Amino acid sequence: MFDTFQPKGDRILIKRLESEEKTASGIIIPDSAKEKAQLGTVIAVGPGKKDKDGTTIPVDVKIKDTIYFGKYAGTEVGDDHLIIREDEILGTVNR
């Protein structure tokens, strides 16, 4: 579905990474109690935001980057995809 999707402006399409199923002490968390992951992989990137002079400022992440985003960031599309703005990214994760 998202193979040909091209975000507009400074929007970014991400796929959420799976959240942990066990706690550090080994307790298994049921699906109903899991929180959605705040980590995701960049799938598609828009061209960037335009400044007041009309110059495009490119987005600072690229496809396949792993990013950390806010808990209530973006718009959910599908079960595990999200469209967010660049300013909703809290940071990138080096893997």
Phi, psi dihedrals of residue 31, rounded to the nearest 5°:
-55, -40
Under a CB-based contact definition with an 8 Å cutoff, are residues 73 and 81 in contact?
A: no
What is the residue whose two structure tokens read 């980590």?
A: 39
CATH code that applies to domain 11-93 = 2.30.33.40
Classify residue 84 by burial, with Cβ atoms within 10 Å: 0-12, 13-18, 19+.
buried
Q: Tell me the domain boundaries of the chain.
A: 11-93
| Nearest of 71, 60, 70 to residue 12 by alpha carbon | 60
pLDDT in tens, the chain (95 residues): 677 888 899 999 999 887 656 556 666 655 555 556 689 999 999 999 988 998 999 999 999 999 999 888 899 998 889 999 999 999 998 86
